[in-house]
Amino acid sequence: MKLLFKKDDLLNGINIVLKAVPSKTTMSILECILINATDNQIKLTANDMELGIETTVEGTIETRGKIALDAKLLSEIIRKLSGGDSPIVIESDEKFNTTITCENSIFHIQGKDGDEFSYLPYIERENYISLSQFTLKEVIRQTIFSISVNDSNKMMTGELFEVKGNELKVVSLDGHRMSIRKIILKDNYQDIKVIVPGKTLGEISKILGGDNEKEVLIFFSKNHILFEFDNTVVVSRLIEGEYFRIDQMLSSDYETKVTVNKREFLDCIDRASILIRENDKKPIIINILDHVMELKLNSSFGSMNAKVLIHKSGKDIMIGFNPKFLIDALRIIDDEEIDLYMMNPKSPCFIKDAEEQYIYLILPVNFNAATV
Amino acid sequence: MKLLFKKDDLLNGINIVLKAVPSKTTMSILECILINATDNQIKLTANDMELGIETTVEGTIETRGKIALDAKLLSEIIRKLSGGDSPIVIESDEKFNTTITCENSIFHIQGKDGDEFSYLPYIERENYISLSQFTLKEVIRQTIFSISVNDSNKMMTGELFEVKGNELKVVSLDGHRMSIRKIILKDNYQDIKVIVPGKTLGEISKILGGDNEKEVLIFFSKNHILFEFDNTVVVSRLIEGEYFRIDQMLSSDYETKVTVNKREFLDCIDRASILIRENDKKPIIINILDHVMELKLNSSFGSMNAKVLIHKSGKDIMIGFNPKFLIDALRIIDDEEIDLYMMNPKSPCFIKDAEEQYIYLILPVNFNAATV
């Protein structure tokens, strides 16, 4: 095999597939990137058996072939080669001895047989939706923070992708809070309801360019989801099972509605959280009165009191929250003013816009009212 | 005590003295910053008993007094306060209860008695030198990489500061290499020869503005060094003892002199070091011929060969180095072309400019010539 690349093309392709190279594995072939130039295209592939990425790279094929090269080594070598006008030449022989040459430097490394590499599963391209790269990237950013990090409940480590007609609903929850984003698609599609691993979405969002003009096609099969964009294909297993019944967690009843400047509210909570160290479960207590909310946090380090002006309708209420959950949700809302809906100090608080394009549900925490 | 500050003034002062707050200590008072407004000035002080920093901060003294506040908490609170046009007010009572107020937020924290704080040692301002902040910052950057990180030999963790007439010589060495920088001062001074802890120099160089127009005064006493610049004073203990006799390590004899483009040489070695993992002691072997040097590195990951064009005078030579030592020295030299002087494969290599403003000595390493 003998291939010629421009440095930037090759490096860009490597950086994309690198997201699917496992950091720890017992199968050393999975630590490799497969370079496949057996056809008229040069494809790079990485696959950790849950998530697989394949991307097509520009380059010249002088001799066809394929080779699996250690991903970390390959990426470091290509990153440090001078590039410029000189092409990078990758050449391998039948014993998988590989040389990587650029200008005045030659690397000799030992490759592996490309035939040993695990190919991506074949996915029927039938059931699909289309949306912009920007929208998908945003939707992931606005929901992924509320998946569960520990996988004692596997379902909570993923996100629900539900399509009905022209609406895509994306949901994540971790037992203390829930995020829902609704997107109106350009077309109507078949009903779909799948659970996508959070890790897959995290990696996808790093690769997506965030361009509003460029599309992503998302294909669904029984066990897999496939994202197709630019020259790249990402395939991931789905999480099996029936997702939580989220509709019964939602309610549009409320006793108190508060409208507040997001920045001011966030800054106050953020400031208060200085007084909390890890594993310290001190709530922020919010006392909602006419025109003003009083925030208070007490910890072993000290206390903070703050006041923020609000618009209120309905009853006064005093309610406590884990400040981190409020901060997480407020950080990713782009609106200048937000609405909070509360029923009582034991029921979930909803932060949502009028059209319910986003809904953030946060469970309150108990606090000893006598100490406030 | 009651003081008013602009946020930026106070935060800037805190960030300066924070460099002398120990990360671990058994004396909890040392984890504090002392705010002293008993006179007409507001001074912040931190002191880890080796290194002490004091800086004067702009502010309004409504009621005089002093208080010691937890450095980490204070710095986080001030950083997160909104600032803007509102002043930050710090107020403490006779029980050291302290409130920090800004706009709509109030923090209550427990301070400590300022009288318990360890003051900086008194240094006679007699024996001194003066140089620009920029020069001092540069000199530190260009030498500090070759101090020893482990303190089995305390002297190697510091740098020699030697003044003779109008020349300041700064030296660091770690047993494998040595860095020497010579600076011509504007005036003549008394002879001085002290060893300054590397940690002090590292922290100083973070605080120094790097302005060529602004001066630093450096005062020397038997056991201490004191740096005075802007509104800040830094005092550090010196390392006791007689520094290594470096003159006998230097030599201007050579058998081979090589002139090479620094960037090309550095890039090649940097590239080769991809093949080395931590604790892997593979040398880079440099074969110097007429007009060209060949570089070669072999490791369990593979091998690299490269060629760089040079000007050579004297004998051919094949010599091996720890690539890290070459990289460290080459990175901080600003010259486009550099000169290397070598005697034989067992003797130190010198990288130095014609005026010997800088001299970098690197010991070669043994290699098995048969395997090259």
Express each pLDDT in B329-344 by its tens digit. 999 999 999 999 999 9
Q: Is there a single domain that holds both residue B167 and residue B145?
A: yes
**Which of A88, A263, A267, A271 best probes binding to B when mutated, by most B CB atoms within 10 angstroms?**
A271
What is the CB neighbour count within 10 angstroms for residue A248? 7
SS3 B116: helix
Give a yes or no: residue B172 inside a domain. yes
From chain B, the residues in CB contact with A97 under 8 A are: none
A77–B274 C-beta distance less than 8 A: yes
B6 and B67 together in one domain: yes
- Is B34 domain-assigned? yes
Q: Is the pLDDT of residue A371 over 80?
A: no
| Tens digits of residue pLDDT in B337-370 | 999 999 999 999 999 999 999 999 999 999 876 6
Top pLDDT among A310 and B118 is at: A310
In a domain, B89, yes or no: yes
Residue B220, pLDDT above cutoff 90: yes
Which of B161, B148, B222 is closest to B194 using CA atoms? Answer: B161
SS3 call for B269: helix
- Look at residue A372 and tell me if it is in a domain: no
Please report, for the domain that includes residue B297, its CATH number.
3.10.150.10
Bridge partner list, A307: A294
Given a cut of 80, whether residue B80 has pLDDT beyond it is yes
pLDDT of residue B253: 94
Tell which of A247, A267, A300 closes a domain: A247
Report the residue of chain A nearest B105, measured CA to CA: A306
Q: What is the ipTM of this complex?
A: 0.89
Q: Min CA distance, B80 vs chain A (Å)?
A: 6
**Furthest-apart CA pair in chain A: how many Å?**
79
Quick one: B134 and B243 in the same domain?
yes
Whether the CB of B100 is below 8 Å from some CB of chain A: the reply is: no
- For residues B183 and B95, membership in a common domain is answered with no
Do B238 and B134 fall within a single domain? Answer: yes
Distance from CA of A104 to the nearest CA of B (A): 5
Calculate ∠ Cα B322-B201-B361, nearest 5°: 30
Do A144 and A240 lie in one domain? The reply is yes
Asked whether B303 and B371 are in contact (CB, 8 A), the reply is no
B78 falls within a domain: yes
How far apart are alpha carbons A231 and A78 in whole angstroms? 20
| One domain, residues A105 and A134 | no
Output the pLDDT for position A372.
62
- Residue B259 and residue B241 in one domain: no
- For B89-97, the CB contacts below 8 A with 24+ separation are B89/B2, B89/B3, B89/B4, B89/B5, B90/B1, B90/B2, B90/B3, B90/B5, B90/B35, B91/B1, B91/B2, B91/B3, B91/B63, B92/B1, B92/B65, B92/B67, B96/B67
Range of the domain at B67: 2-113
pLDDT in tens, A267-326: 999 999 999 987 778 999 999 999 999 999 999 999 999 999 999 999 999 999 999 999
> CA-CA distance, B57 to B59, in Å (whole number)?
6
Q: What is the pLDDT of residues A207-264, one digit of tens each?
A: 998 888 999 999 999 999 999 999 999 999 999 999 999 999 998 899 999 999 999 9
Same structural domain for residues A27 and A64? yes
Looking at the structure, do residues B205 and B292 belong to the same domain, yes or no? no
Q: Which of B65, B89, B113 is the last residue of a domain?
A: B113
Q: Do A80 and B302 touch (CB under 8 A)?
A: no
The distance of A49 to chain B (nearest Cα, Å) reads: 25
Tell me, yes or no, whether B50 and B65 share the same domain: yes
- A274 touching B (Cβ < 8 Å): yes
**A306 to B270: CB separation less than 8 angstroms, yes or no:** no
Q: What is the SS3 assignment for chain A? A: CEEEECHHHHHHHHHHHHHHCCCCCCCHHHHEEEEEECCCCEEEEEECCCEEEEEEECCEEEECEEEEEEHHHHHHHHHHCCCCCCCEEEEECCCCEEEEEECCEEEEEECECHHHCCCCCCCCCCEEEEEEHHHHHHHHHCCHHHCCCCCCCHHHHEEEEEEEEEEEEEEEECCCEEEEEEEEEEEEEEEEEEEEEHHHHHHHHHHCCCCCCCEEEEEECCCEEEEEECCEEEEEECECCCCCCCHHHCCCCCCEEEEEEHHHHHHHHHHHHHHCCCCCCCCEEEEECCCEEEEEEEECCEEEEEEEEEEEEECCEEEEECHHHHHHHHHHCCCCEEEEEECCCCCCEEEECCCCCEEEEECCECCCHHHC
Please state, as a whole number, how many other Cβ atoms lie within 10 Å of the Cβ of residue A175.
Answer: 12
Record the pTM: 0.91
In a domain, A122, yes or no: no
pLDDT beyond 90 at A151: no
For residue A15, what are its two tokens? 């950086």
**Looking up tokens 């960030």, which residue turns up?**
B15
Taking the Cβ of residue B82 and every Cβ of chain A, the question of whether any pair is shorter than 8 Å is answered with: yes
Confidence band (pLDDT; 50, 70, 90) for B314?
very high
pLDDT at position B372 is: 62
Q: What is the pLDDT of residue A369?
A: 66
Q: Is residue B139 in some structural domain?
A: yes
Mean pLDDT within B145-173: 95
Res B296: pLDDT = 97
Q: Whole-angstrom Cα distance, residue A226 to residue A125?
A: 9
Residues A237 and A280 in one domain: no
Q: Which of B219, B247, B275 is the last residue of a domain?
A: B247
Q: How many domains does one find in chain B?
A: 3
Mean of the per-residue pLDDT values for chain A? 95
Which residue is it, tokens 């005089």?
B64
Domain-located, residue B123: no
